[in-house]
Amino acid sequence: MAELDAIDRRILEQLQMDASLSSAELAERVGSSAASCWRRVKSLEAVGILGPAVRLLRPEALGRSVNVLCNIRVSSHARDVRGAFEVFVRERREIIECYSMSGDWDYLLRIVALDVADYERFLMRVLLEHPSVGGASSHFALSQTKYTTALPV
């Protein structure tokens, strides 16, 4: 783990809120110079603490207001079956998160859909038809109490 000082931590907090800040704006917010901030950001990128800058989309603005958490049981725990499932997941744009899990289920997926019928089509015609999938259990989010991409630093 990299050694972070107070300015590094402030930089990380600010960039998690707004990755589009210029070095000058960032410097003003963290109490440093623009050149120092630029060097620190480059260093944080080089050691892998900062990943690529992205813009977050609002799913509801794109009509993707149905948020489903789907537990998956694979048909076999053989390496090739799990690998085929993970390749399938990476190729499907409606699956926006996937976690390999301990416990009763093998994977947890977060899927966004246009509406319940759209999700049903995906579930019945795509997901459950994949040969690596042995079972699924879907849970529809009624509302979002908290969502953040910001990590504590």
Residues 6+ away with beta carbon under 8 Å from 150: 13, 16, 17
Q: What pLDDT sits at residue 2? A: 78
Co-location of 98 and 121 in the same domain: yes
Name 112's bridge partners: 67
User: What per-residue confidence (pLDDT) applies to 143?
Assistant: 95
Same domain membership, residue 136 and residue 63: yes
Give the pLDDT confidence score for residue 141 in this predicted structure: 97
Q: How does the average pLDDT of the chain come out, rounded?
A: 97
pTM exceeds 0.85 for this model: yes
Q: What parts of the chain have a pLDDT lower than 50?
A: none
Query: 134 with 71, same domain?
Result: yes
Q: Judge whether 96 and 109 are in contact, CB under 8 Å.
A: no
Q: Do 14 and 86 fall into the same domain?
A: no
The number of domains in the chain is 2
Collapsed DSSP state (helix, strand, coil) of residue 114: coil
Question: Does residue 100 fall inside a structural domain?
Answer: yes
Same domain, 66 and 125: yes
CATH code at position 23: 1.10.10.10
The answer as to whether 135 is a domain residue is yes
Runs of H (alpha helix) within the chain: 6-17, 23-30, 34-46, 79-91, 116-122
Residue 140's pLDDT is 98
CATH code of the domain containing 74: 3.30.70.920
Residue 104 belongs to domain spanning: 59-140
* 92 and 21 belong to one structural domain: no
1 inside domain: no
pLDDT at 34: 97
DSSP H or E run through 133: strand 133-140
Same domain? 71 vs 38: no
Do both 79 and 115 map to the same domain? yes
Write the pLDDT tens digit of every residue in 97-114: 999 999 999 999 999 999
Question: Do residues 36 and 68 both lie within one domain?
Answer: no
- Inside any domain, residue 86: yes
One domain, residues 29 and 82? no
